[in-house]
Amino acid sequence: MTPTLVLTLTLVAAGASAALLLVAEMMGRADAGRKLAALLLFAAGGVALTAGWAVAPATVWGAFATGGGRATAAGLVLVLSAASLLAGGGKRSGVVSALMALGAGGAIVSLSSIDLLTMLIGIEIAAVSAYGIVASSGDGRADEAALKYFIQGSVATGFFVLGLAVVVGLAAPDAKISSLLVTAQRLPADALMLAAVGLVGALAFKSGAAPMHSWAPDAYETAPAEGAGFMAGSLKLAMVTTLAVVVSAFGTIVASGAPLGDRLVLLMGGLALLSVIIGSTVALKTRSYARLLGYAGVAQVGYALIALAASNPSGALLFISTYAVATTAAFAAAAAVRKLSPDWDGSVEGLAGLGRKHPVLGAALTLALVSLSGIPPLVGFWGKFQAFGSAIAVSASYYATSRPGFGWWLAVLAAAGVMGSIISLGYYGAIVRAVYAETGEDAPVNEPVQGAKTAIAVSAILAFVLVIAGVLPIFGDLSQIVAGFLLNLS
Amino acid sequence: MIQLDLIVIVPFALAILAGLVGMIRPSAAKWVGLAVPLAQGALLVSLARAGVFAGRTFGGSLSSDTSIWRLTVDGLAAPLLALTVVTGLLAIAASWRVDNRPGAHFALLALLQGAVAGVFAADSLVLFYIAWECVLVPMFLLIAGWGSAGARRASMKFLIFTFAGGAVLLVGVIATVVIAGTDSITAIASMGGVPVYSTLVFWLLAIGFLVKVPAVPLHTWLPDAHTEAPTAGSIVLAGVLLKMGGYGLIRIALPFAPRAFDLAAPILAALGLIGIVWGAATALVQSDLKRLVAYSSVAHMGFVLLAISIATPASLAAAVVTMVSHGLVAGLLFFLVGALYGRAHTRELSAFGGLGSVTPRWAIAFVFASLASAGLPGLSGFPGEFVTSIEAFSSVGWWTLVAGVGIVLAAAYNLRAVRSTVQGPVGGFESLADLDALETASVALMAVAIIAVGVAPWLLTDGATTAVSMVAQLVGRGV
């Protein structure tokens, strides 16, 4: 397996699936097309996941890199997109599925880029398909949410272009990430900071970090459940990975002596703190299932940003990967509920009695939520262990090097992360409680319809993955597992 | 030794089996549930034959240097593992007739058994924390799914309180690993604890443990959780979950930060004394029998905390004995209260009276358990609390009298419970079924254990001496 092969395979799989899904929709065979496309994405994703550990990071075609963490992230994007595809179905699902496959391709382009221009193209492909997914249900609320998302997204793109312009226009010979080093030596620190704020701000928006998060809950609520799962899982994973690449690129500049690092730590920490606080507190008061997961996702991005503030990009990637699997499972469960009871109003209370009528679905959803709150032995714990662990370690090293101000700042971030996890039990626990609540009337256990069975199976399989991946590090070597999440820059 | 690995792994495997069996034949799940403590017991017996109760230390067989799966067991952990087995049996007996989703019920009990064994057997600090938190969700689901009327609120309170404590513990664990550069509990203890920031590390760890113990004022989750939990849940909660806190203090917090402990000891002693009196006084005014037993747990665990704060070899051994005793006695009391509630459907003290003539076997068992809880010499409650009081004089001086007040109050609330249920004119229930054969056998098993610990506490302390002396020496209070 060569890096070129891995990247070609993943991109071709995503593009071919999108085309296949459109053709199948036109031929009226949307269901068969979806299964075939999911199989294709899953196979390519499996190969890329293996490559995460088996293939050493290397540059491909000058503008991309794969192997290591990038391949792992690409593989997860494809596998989780396949899971979301399978969980979907119903009216207009063919178009939504095609958009998801296309978006997965864009996501892989952006997270594999080592060139800021191709990165921007990937981000925009992913964003455009996300706008389409949000608008797909076609009613007034969907239009409004999609329009809001589109306008805000355009502003974010503008930020990215601004950052790009500063880097390329003022100093660097090209838009390569590695050229940032050249830029750093030619530019005053303030201009460099402007570039960093532009690029980081745009990607923070795409990742759904506060204070640029307000699109996410709206989008997840109005999109079909499987589309929301794709945006909250695969896309967020890709955007946080891209953010990690960009941040660590600026981090390398620090190593070369340019005075940017401290401000970057403050910037990432500030975004993290805001995200954790806003996401956690609003999620506590939210009663709509998808909105709740949206705000919870804001807090989760905050935890990833804590790892970035602690200069641990691979920790951020590992964390957001565990989040993406669990959140895809949670939205697959929502897709199943949609099919089991089409009149579900989307509220948390509306889930009452789910665990009694459909024990497998209830258990899968519970496992996903427990993993999201970071309780061991589920894999979400290891993500938080990496993220908060690196913050505490870096805090200690700041103290050791007599910079107590920064040591204090990292300690605050770790504490905020821990507090956020405690609060998360309040909202995730509310869902679990609703799932196992007694409904009062004894609803007859109706056989799940065909589509619901697939969605239930998808969430159950993902929940199983959460357990296995959580137990594995107990018996295995953690450092070898982390090796598959390392992000290289060249 | 492979037995040590299996004592943790087998319950998890059987939990999956119980869940599967429960889907196919619900009535058969209990047999899988029963197999869990029996298997753990058999494995522990084979460890005992190798000398673990005589103070020898063993490691697990599946351990490797690169994984966190590193286990060890010594004379300090062994008595608590034995307690886990015994209370596990009692919990199975108490839920033998559960007909509401028995597969899930016994699977959760099995998960608890495995996780608790993991806590007592872990040598890696990270594994310890994982096992510690593995207890959380099964217990939450057990309370929420099989508890009584107010269980939903109580289960949430339990979840959030103990997870908050656990989160502080996690920060402490990470900080310890970062500062010490290793996650081996034995290694950190033998290097004299963490080299810097010992006060910070101590309190991060200790707060996590104190929530679980629980120490007043961090105890408020306990009465609710106990009262609303199903009987089996209460038994496991009181029997072993609280002991994780005491064990953590002795095994981890003290040796990791000896100097910080030296400064903190008066605070811990004060918390212990407050717990003893507060728990006993609150128990005295309860009208709900199960709440009464719950508050008595706060008092007894106050003794454990007091004993740990003294940290001499004798007092630490006394802490172990008190923990085992409380596990047995509170487990038995919850079992009996649960049996009574299952028949009468009320736990109000005022509803009962004269049960001595209505249900004589239950009455005898309840009087026995209450006397053990009050600390009658010859029963298990006596040796630990007696030695603690003696040792306390050398450490906290006349403040020991506060503990004395607690002992008097313990006699008072236990006798009040006995008087209003067993004695007096026959109350609202003129005919109740007495304990059946299974229940009588379970009570007899517990009674044998309670008398054995009461008469021969050295069965526990002999093996623990090496371990606790080392801890005492590390904190500078050894002989």
Within 8 A of B160 by CB-CB distance, chain A residues are 422, 425-426, 429
Of the candidates B372, B344, B371, B366, the residue with the CA atom closest to the CA atom of residue B428: B344
Q: How confident is the model at residue A446 (pLDDT cuts 50, 70, 90)?
A: low
Angle at A258 between CA A254 and CA A264, to 5 degrees: 50
Residues 6+ apart with CB under 8 A from B221: B157, B158, B161, B162, B211, B214
Task: State the residue for tokens 């790009």.
Answer: A164
Q: How far is B138 from chain A (nearest CA, A)?
A: 11
The closest CB to that of A392, out of B68, B104, B175, belongs to B175
| Average pLDDT estimate for B385-401 | 89
Please say if the pLDDT value at position A195 is more than 90.
Answer: no
Of the candidates A16, A11, A13, A19, the residue with the CA atom closest to the CA atom of residue A66: A11
Of the candidates B316, B311, B304, the residue with the CA atom closest to the CA atom of residue B476: B311
Least confident window among A217-231, B30-44, B139-153: B139-153
Q: How confident is the model at residue A237 (pLDDT cuts 50, 70, 90)?
A: very high
Q: How far is B156 from chain A (nearest CA, A)?
A: 7
A421 close to B (CB below 8 A): yes
A381 close to B (CB below 8 A): yes
Q: How confident is the model at residue A490 (pLDDT cuts 50, 70, 90)?
A: low
d(CA B248, CA B232): 24
Residues 6+ apart with CB under 8 A from A472: A481
Residues 6+ apart with CB under 8 A from B372: B325, B328, B329, B332, B379, B380, B381, B450, B454
Please say if the pLDDT value at position B59 is more than 90.
Answer: no
SS3 for B86-125 is HHHHHHHHHCCCCCCCHHHHHHHHHHHHHHHHHHHHECEH
Asked if residue A359 lies in contact with residue A314, where contact means CB atoms within 8 angstroms, the answer is no
Of the candidates B16, B13, B128, the residue with the CA atom closest to the CA atom of residue B70: B128
Of the candidates A417, A349, A419, A360, the residue with the CA atom closest to the CA atom of residue A389: A417
Task: State the residue for tokens 């492979």.
Answer: B2
CA distance readout (Å), A339 to A136, A171, A327, A381, B309: 18, 55, 19, 31, 58
Percent of chain B surpassing pLDDT 70: 100
Asked if residue A328 lies in contact with residue A228, where contact means CB atoms within 8 angstroms, the answer is no
Residues 6+ apart with CB under 8 A from A165: none
| Average pLDDT estimate for B248-259 | 93
d(CA A266, CA A268): 6
Asked if residue B260 lies in contact with residue B199, where contact means CB atoms within 8 angstroms, the answer is yes
d(CA A283, CA A421): 12
Asked if residue A477 lies in contact with residue B72, where contact means CB atoms within 8 angstroms, the answer is no
Mutate to test the interface with A, among B178, B203, B205 (most CBs of A within 10 A): B178
Residues B178, A392: C-beta atoms closer than 8 Å: yes
Using CA coordinates, name the residue in chain A closest to B197: A396
Query: Which tokens in the block code for residue B248?
Result: 């953590």
Please say if the pLDDT value at position A256 is more than 60.
Answer: no
Of the candidates B287, B349, B402, the residue with the CA atom closest to the CA atom of residue B295: B287
Using CA coordinates, name the residue in chain B closest to A411: B171
Task: State the residue for tokens 């009226």.
Answer: A28
| Average pLDDT estimate for B434-451 | 93
**Cα atoms in the 13 Å half-sphere on the side-chain side of B114:** 24
Within 8 A of B9 by CB-CB distance, chain A residues are none
pLDDT at A11: 95
Within 8 A of B130 by CB-CB distance, chain A residues are 376-377, 381, 474
Instruction: Give A430-444 pLDDT, tens digit per residue.
Output: 899 888 876 655 455
d(CA B464, CA B313): 9
Instruction: Give A62-109 pLDDT, tens digit per residue.
Output: 889 998 899 999 999 999 999 999 998 776 678 899 999 999 999 999
Q: What is the phi/psi pair of residue B450, to 5°?
A: -65, -45
d(CA A459, CA B347): 42
d(CA A427, CA A281): 9
d(CA A116, CA A109): 11
d(CA A291, CA B58): 51
Within 8 A of B8 by CB-CB distance, chain A residues are none
Residues B163, A389: C-beta atoms closer than 8 Å: no
3-class secondary structure, B288: strand
Mutate to test the interface with B, among A284, A375, A381, A395 (most CBs of B within 10 A): A375
Within 8 A of A422 by CB-CB distance, chain B residues are 160, 163-164, 167
Residues A388, B67: C-beta atoms closer than 8 Å: no
Mean pLDDT over all residues of chain B? 91
d(CA A284, CA A282): 5
d(CA B338, CA B86): 17
Query: Which tokens in the block code for residue A243?
Result: 């953010």
B148-174 exposure pattern, b = at least 16 Cβ within 10 A, e = fewer = eeebbebbbbbbbbbbbbbbbbbbbbb
Q: How confident is the model at residue A1 (pLDDT cuts 50, 70, 90)?
A: confident
Task: State the residue for tokens 């507090």.
Answer: A419
Please say if the pLDDT value at position B356 is more than 70.
Answer: yes
Using CA coordinates, name the residue in chain B closest to A432: B141
Alpha helices in A256-288 (DSSP H): 261-285
Percent of chain B surpassing pLDDT 90: 66
Within 8 A of B136 by CB-CB distance, chain A residues are 375
A445 close to B (CB below 8 A): no
The closest CB to that of A377, out of B134, B160, B168, belongs to B134
The DSSP code for B397 is: G
A429 close to B (CB below 8 A): yes
> Looking at the predicted complex, does its ipTM rise above 0.90?
no
Q: How far is A183 from chain B (nearest CA, A)?
A: 36
d(CA A238, CA A113): 11
A433 close to B (CB below 8 A): yes
Asked if residue A364 lies in contact with residue A457, where contact means CB atoms within 8 angstroms, the answer is no
pLDDT at A440: 52
Chain B residues in contact with chain A using a Cβ-Cβ cutoff of 8 Å: 62, 66-69, 104, 126-127, 129-130, 133-134, 136-137, 140-141, 144-145, 152, 156, 159-160, 163-164, 167-168, 170-171, 174-175, 177-179, 197
Residues A375, B137: C-beta atoms closer than 8 Å: yes
Using CA coordinates, name the residue in chain A closest to B66: A477
The closest CB to that of B130, out of A429, A474, A479, belongs to A474
Residues B134, A389: C-beta atoms closer than 8 Å: no
pLDDT at A385: 93
Please say if the pLDDT value at position A170 is more than 80.
Answer: no
| Burial (0-12, 13-18, 19+ Cβ within 10 Å), A182 | middle
Residue type, A148: K
Q: How confident is the model at residue A17 (pLDDT cuts 50, 70, 90)?
A: very high
3-class secondary structure, A458: helix
Q: How far is B408 from chain A (nearest CA, A)?
A: 39
Within 8 A of B168 by CB-CB distance, chain A residues are 418
Inter-chain CB pairs, A–B, below 8 Å:
79
d(CA A66, CA A56): 8
Residues 6+ apart with CB under 8 A from A446: A340, A357
pLDDT at A257: 54
Using CA coordinates, name the residue in chain A closest to B145: A436
Asked if residue A116 lies in contact with residue A177, where contact means CB atoms within 8 angstroms, the answer is yes
Mutate to test the interface with A, among B171, B177, B179 (most CBs of A within 10 A): B171
How many whole angstroms from its chain centre is CA A112? 15
Within 8 A of B69 by CB-CB distance, chain A residues are 474-475
Asked if residue B158 lies in contact with residue B256, where contact means CB atoms within 8 angstroms, the answer is no
Instruction: Give A278-296 pLDDT, tens digit per residue.
Output: 999 999 999 999 999 999 9
3-class secondary structure, A148: helix
Q: How confident is the model at residue B281 (pLDDT cuts 50, 70, 90)?
A: very high
Residues B178, A393: C-beta atoms closer than 8 Å: yes
The DSSP code for B216 is: T
The DSSP code for B287 is: S
Within 8 A of B104 by CB-CB distance, chain A residues are 359
d(CA B352, CA B432): 11
Mutate to test the interface with A, among B12, B100, B126, B142 (most CBs of A within 10 A): B126
CA distance readout (Å), B232 to A56, A186, A462, B106, B412: 53, 70, 31, 10, 27
Please say if the pLDDT value at position A445 is more than 60.
Answer: no
d(CA A204, CA A208): 6
d(CA A32, CA A34): 5
- Report the predicted TM-score, pTM, of the whole model to 2 decimal places: 0.91
Mean pLDDT over all residues of chain A? 89
A393 close to B (CB below 8 A): yes
CA distance readout (Å), B217 to A120, A225, B163, B266, B273: 55, 44, 16, 16, 12
Phi-psi region at B311: left, alpha or beta (left = phi > 0; alpha = psi -120 to 50): left
Q: How confident is the model at residue B242 (pLDDT cuts 50, 70, 90)?
A: very high
Q: How far is B67 from chain A (nearest CA, A)?
A: 5
CA distance readout (Å), B462 to B56, B316, B459: 11, 12, 6
Residues B130, A389: C-beta atoms closer than 8 Å: no
Instruction: Give A109-136 pLDDT, tens digit per residue.
Output: 999 999 999 999 999 999 999 999 999 8
**Cα atoms in the 13 Å half-sphere on the side-chain side of B26:** 8
The closest CB to that of A392, out of B129, B134, B171, belongs to B171
pLDDT at A94: 82
Please report, to the nearest 10 degrees, the dihedral formed by the alpha carbons of residues B207, B211, B212, B214 taken in order.
Answer: 120
A389 close to B (CB below 8 A): yes
pLDDT at A255: 57
| Average pLDDT estimate for A5-31 | 91
| Burial (0-12, 13-18, 19+ Cβ within 10 Å), A267 | buried
Residues 6+ apart with CB under 8 A from A8: none
pLDDT at A447: 59
Residues B145, A370: C-beta atoms closer than 8 Å: no
Please say if the pLDDT value at position B479 is more than 70.
Answer: no
Query: Which tokens in the block code for residue B349?
Result: 């003290």
Q: How far is A338 from chain B (nearest CA, A)?
A: 25
Asked if residue B128 lies in contact with residue B119, where contact means CB atoms within 8 angstroms, the answer is yes
Residues B133, A425: C-beta atoms closer than 8 Å: no
A428 close to B (CB below 8 A): no
Element (H, E) at A58: strand A58-60
pLDDT at B275: 95
Alpha helices in A89-188 (DSSP H): 93-112, 116-135, 140-170, 180-186
The closest CB to that of B156, out of A392, A433, A474, belongs to A433
Within 8 A of A385 by CB-CB distance, chain B residues are 126, 170, 174
Instruction: Give A382-401 pLDDT, tens digit per residue.
Output: 999 999 999 999 998 888 88
Q: How far is A465 from chain B (nearest CA, A)?
A: 15
pLDDT at A448: 60
Instruction: Give A144-156 pLDDT, tens digit per residue.
Output: 999 999 999 999 9
Using CA coordinates, name the residue in chain A closest to B135: A376
